[in-house]
Structure 1
């Protein structure tokens, strides 16, 4: 039995790469590893939160699920940063579009995240600790998108703790304030990266629209976000 400081990740430290892609769905982690990584090795199966390490264009990259919501995302991110010496985490997740000019499978890069979470209270900062992306990762991701001539929107997203919100006016308010989409993890990974003195970026694919009857199936969310994944892999590769 491998001894680790974690109850949720059981792996030898050297089995995890310095940069990790983190989808919420562990089955999307499996999909990414099997489709894009050379010689992927499964390093974690605890709670079925699959983690793999392989090579991409000659460099070691890991991919691991995070689960849903800030508590789950930051639990795994904290352990990867602090127990396994990971330098950078790139979230590859799904989101609900807010703008009229967006459609399913569009890609969003989160420069910052507005949120209703109080997760940052623990840090004792006398104000609101702004959740923002690491500039180097953000800059690399935008450069990758320009080279690919990919249609990508960069800006503020809304990270919510509430999937089924009793206040039906929230999406309209978020749209009015210029937010691109709604999701559940970005603010948390940005806060965790700051607290751990590490790097993070959130790249999102639109899975549904908050104002139109457009949505992908569960399987499509798992296996049809290739453009986002490829942008994230190229960004990860450049960071190493």
Structure 2
């Protein structure tokens, strides 16, 4: 069945609407970063860059390193942008853009998010690298999709709603175990909360009062058996949920720049991020 021109919007050159990419412009392994300025910080280590595209906050570089073809893309911040990224990147490999029909044989991509994050536990040191085993979505993106969750994920979701007093049940979803073992080898293994904002949703207050003033404390203390929340940021849950729905392998690795329990921030955040970039590129 053909997908309508208002559901799958293409540019005049046949590229997908927001990313401005054609199928040949990307590799099967995609590194993503939130900050457009961080794309070059990854691709500077490529042996060569064969393709570049700048469109909105979505900047794409594709090249090779050690003979392996890799794409790095920026997505901007928030799960709303991740939804655009994932639907359009999937369309490039699993929809025939000329006939507008889904391909019979589906391709599985490897997507590796390199991001920054704040720790929720006192013993997680600044400068650490943390790989997200599970993600907890405090955003509402999955309200609009039919995300399957297993019994343990449903249990955690219900208990989180009760513990935090939030008026909704967060969604909980696991990342790729294969990528966790390869890309995340030797890193702190954690469970990441994805928030729909940087300030109040992460317990920060400047001039506005917080509706949930104990949120930080609640997240710090929350646990079910050996499941503890370790850090928060703004994208991982969207990655893991859409990866599950679309059939792609996804992992999120985090440079810990802040510890929200000790109220300390890294003195050299660029160095921490660069170290994580090099580690990921060595393991791909």
> Would the TM-score normalized by the shorter structure come out above 0.5?
yes
2:82 to 65, 73, 88: 73
Q: Distance in 1 between matches of 2:147 and 2:42?
A: 37
Aligned length: 226
Cα distance change, pair 81–125 in 1 and its aligned pair in 2 (3 A): closer
Deviation at 1:141, TM superposition (A): 2.1
Structure number with higher relative contact order (C-alpha < 8 Å, ≥ 6 residues apart): 1
Cα distance change, pair 173–54 in 1 and its aligned pair in 2 (3 A): same
1:12 to 19, 22, 25: 22
Deviation at 1:207, TM superposition (A): 1.6
Q: Per the alignment, in what secondary structure is the counterpart of residue 182 of structure 1?
A: strand
Residue 106 of structure 1 is matched in structure 2 by 128
Residue 175 of structure 2 is matched in structure 1 by 133
Deviation at 1:48, TM superposition (A): 4.3
Deviation at 1:203, TM superposition (A): 0.4
Cα distance change, pair 3–216 in 1 and its aligned pair in 2 (3 A): farther
Once the two structures are superposed, what CA deviation does each residue of 1:81-102 show, in whole Å capped at 9, x if it has no partner?
A: 2224671111100001111112
Q: Distance in 2 between matches of 1:156 and 1:124?
A: 22
Residue 59 of structure 1 is matched in structure 2 by 68
Deviation at 1:216, TM superposition (A): 4.2
Residue 201 of structure 1 is matched in structure 2 by 251
* Contact 2:79 2:196 survives alignment (8 Å): yes
Worse overlay, 185-194 or 69-78? 69-78
Residue 162 of structure 1 is matched in structure 2 by 197
- The structure with the largest alpha-carbon Rg is 2
Residue 141 of structure 2 is matched in structure 1 by 119
Deviation at 1:30, TM superposition (A): 1.4
